[in-house]
Amino acid sequence: MNIKDLSDEILFTPGHTACAGCGAPPIVRNIMKIFGKDTIIYTPANCLLVFGGTYPYLAWKVPYFHEAFENTGACISGVARALRKQGKKTLVVGIAGDGGTYDIGIQALSGAAERNEDVIYICYDNEAYMNTGIQRSGSTPYGAATTTTPAGTKIPGKLDHKKDMAEIMRAHEVPYVATMSIAHQRDFLEKAKKARDVEGFRYLHIISPCPTGWRFDPSLTIEMSRKAVDSGMWTLFEAEYGEITNIYKPKKKIPVKEYLMGQGRFRHFTPEMVEELQRWVDHKWKRIYGEEP
Amino acid sequence: MYEIRFHGRGGQGGKMAAEAYALAAFLEGNYAVSFPFFGAERRGAPVKAFTRVDDKKIRIKTQVYEPDYVVVLDETLIETQDVLEGLKKDGTVIINTQRKPEEVRLSKPVKCATVDATGIALEVLGRPITNTAILGALARATGRVKIESVEQAIMEKFGARLGRESGEKNARAARMAYEQTLVGTSQGGKEFVPRPQWLPDVHEMPIGGAIGTMKTEAGLIGIGSFVENKTGDWRTFIPAIDKEKCIGCRFCWFYCPEGCISMVEGKAEVNYDYCKGCGICAHECPAKAIEMTREVKA
């Protein structure tokens, strides 16, 4: 599948109030072109909730609900079961940020996955609580400066590494898990299509660079997605019932330093910190790709 | 006591400007407070911030409703709202614009100072962040604080956060603005019609607040209604597509965060009603057919 095969119909309209250069709107607009009109969207608290609608105004052109932060998994489970009981095949999609997935929503998400509910859960990952003003989440990478992990003279940003949420979801052995990047168009569209067509629990995890929180020029959002993949900070794979079935390997691996440069949240990095993050990336690389980087 | 209201857009640094001004006044031995007002706004949406200065302790904690001075960091804001609302009789408005005070049209003629803070910021800082430059204009127009105090406050406030070099650059932006500020009188007579709101009574309110698409006096509401929210005035830079060079690859159409690029006869076309000027289209265009330039606002 190619971007030329996508329809012109827009189900997430312009006029939304995301920051200029936000990574999330192109993700949801294009994914909705694949999912189509017969879709119901649930979102907990996140940026997308706020910029996608301020009651009574709304950018979505499909049924849309706002639920509490911690229960995306539970809400989509209930709605999907009610619809299936009525014999309807409507896609039920929950879209949460990394805070609503890694931290606050993980119990309801894990439960829904365990029960293999017939839903799609999307985590758009901008690596911090951007909606409330850039607080660290379980997804924030090592060393990144956020308002709750500021880079000071004693503590240089976040001390812990990013949690591997996609691997946690893979361990649930659900029908479909995929990690995605909008910069990899064909891969992105194929995975969205597959998620639409598979039955049972599907988990999509998409990197969503944030010019405001990561502090880079808004024109570089797509470039950041691309560099995240090329450096190994972000890995693209598909898994079915717990088995990895497809891996995208960058043609040329770039040093993690090239990804860090140009992002204000890593500006304070010392050579030792770069090395620590590179070590983490190389370890992950070996685990996913099964070879030395 | 005197009060200042700052009008800006999220990310332009209205809050930091209000804080830095308060610090400058404090350095001269005054009492000063500042605070921002915002809801769930993103970068680019209109926001406000306030500063109060007095020679004794300040007990009042409300927003500023009757300012002595109004500072406008983004001139597109004077088109959509009456920034003079509540301004005291002899008050002054300070506007970031390339225009002269006499060329600015507001709801009434008032003392008006103008400076091209965006131009100065682009020249000195390389980014359209205008909050420090505008403080130079504020010092010049009001004469309430010395430019040296403004420079010192900026060095302390911005230097601590962004490093010494950045602090110095921002102080230089303020000094340049101080020197280039024009003071005069604005034109009046511009009328503002407040945007009507959808205020249903208890019988009209749908169960659970659930609404489909509905046409109301406040315009379209419900599903898909954000199309009536024109975000084009958020931008500083504007893309221009060279149709000769466009190869119709659809990359910009795919990546545009606003979804405001459409394909017309195989070529990309921008709907400027929504374009926020992020520049992703220009950066991703494989044919280099899109160019970003600073938009000249009429």
Residue A238 domain boundaries: 3-289
Taking the CA of residue A153 and the nearest CA in chain B, the distance in Å comes to 12
Is B278 within 8 Å of A56 when comparing Cβ atoms?
no
The per-residue pLDDT for A82 is: 98
B280, part of any domain: yes
Do residues A41 and A49 make contact, with C-beta atoms less than 8 angstroms apart?
A: no
Confidence band, pLDDT 50/70/90 cuts, at residue B76: confident
Largest CA distance in chain B: 67
Which of the residues A19, A27, A79 would you substitute to probe the B interface, choosing the one with the greatest number of B C-beta atoms within 10 Å? A19
Confidence band, pLDDT 50/70/90 cuts, at residue B41: low
Which of the residues B227, B247, B249 would you substitute to probe the A interface, choosing the one with the greatest number of A C-beta atoms within 10 Å? B227
Q: Which of residues 26-85 of B touch A (CB under 8 A)?
A: 40-45
The three-point CA angle B81-B87-B93 to 5° equals 75
Q: Which of residues 225-244 of B touch A (CB under 8 A)?
A: 225-231, 234-235
B132 and B212 share one domain: no
Confidence band, pLDDT 50/70/90 cuts, at residue B277: very high
pLDDT at A176 over 60: yes
pLDDT at A145 over 80: yes
The per-residue pLDDT for B268 is: 97
- Which DSSP string do the residues of A54-96 spell out, in sequence order? ETTEESBSS-EEE--TT-HHHHHHHHHHHHHHTT---EEEEEE
Is B259 within 8 Å of A22 when comparing Cβ atoms?
no
Lookup result for tokens 């998400």 = A109
What is the per-residue pLDDT across B80-96, written as a single tens digit (0 to 9) for each? 889 999 999 999 999 99
What is the total count of domains within chain B?
A: 3
Domain containing B135 — which CATH number?
Answer: 3.40.920.10
B190, part of any domain: no
B62 and B172 share one domain: yes
Domain containing A106 — which CATH number?
Answer: 3.40.50.970
B134 and B176 share one domain: yes
pLDDT at B42 over 80: no
- Is B259 touching A (CB cutoff 8 A)? yes
The per-residue pLDDT for A33 is: 97
B92 and B47 share one domain: yes
Confidence band, pLDDT 50/70/90 cuts, at residue B182: very high
* Mean pLDDT of chain A, nearest integer: 96
DSSP H/E element including B182: strand B182-185
Mean pLDDT value of segment B267-282? 97
Confidence band, pLDDT 50/70/90 cuts, at residue A290: confident
B134 and B269 share one domain: no
pLDDT at B79 over 90: no
pLDDT at B298 over 60: no
B165, part of any domain: yes
Is A219 within 8 Å of B250 when comparing Cβ atoms?
no
Mean pLDDT value of segment A79-94? 97
The whole-angstrom separation of Cα A147 and Cα A118 is 37
Taking the CA of residue A230 and the nearest CA in chain B, the distance in Å comes to 17
B239, part of any domain: yes
B81 and B210 share one domain: no
B21, part of any domain: yes
**Interface pTM (ipTM) of the complex?**
0.96
Mean pLDDT value of segment A147-175? 96
Do residues A128 and A135 make contact, with C-beta atoms less than 8 angstroms apart?
A: yes
B13 and B54 share one domain: yes
- The closest of B183, B213, B217, B179 to B200, measured between CA atoms, is B217
What is the total count of domains within chain A?
A: 1
The whole-angstrom separation of Cα A87 and Cα B16 is 56
- Is B286 touching A (CB cutoff 8 A)? no
Residue where a domain terminates, one of B185, B214, B241 = B185
Residue B272 domain boundaries: 232-294
The whole-angstrom separation of Cα A206 and Cα A39 is 19
Mean pLDDT value of segment B195-205? 86
B173 and B69 share one domain: yes
B38, part of any domain: yes
Mean pLDDT value of segment A88-110? 97
The answer, yes or no, to whether the previous bond of A141 is cis (omega within 30 of 0) is no
Domain containing B276 — which CATH number?
Answer: 3.30.70.20
pLDDT at A207 over 60: yes
B107 and B200 share one domain: no
The per-residue pLDDT for B100 is: 96
B217 and B116 share one domain: no
User: Which of A20, A54, A64 comes nearest B276 by C-beta?
Assistant: A20
- Give the tokens for residue B224: 């898909």
pLDDT at A99 over 90: yes
pLDDT at B228 over 90: yes
**A20-A24-A29-A30 Cα dihedral, nearest 10 degrees:** 120
B41 and B85 share one domain: yes
Q: Which residues of B touch A54 (CB under 8 A)?
A: 40
Q: Which residues of A touch B11 (CB under 8 A)?
A: 19, 212
B52 and B140 share one domain: yes
pLDDT at B158 over 90: no
Mean pLDDT value of segment A116-145? 97
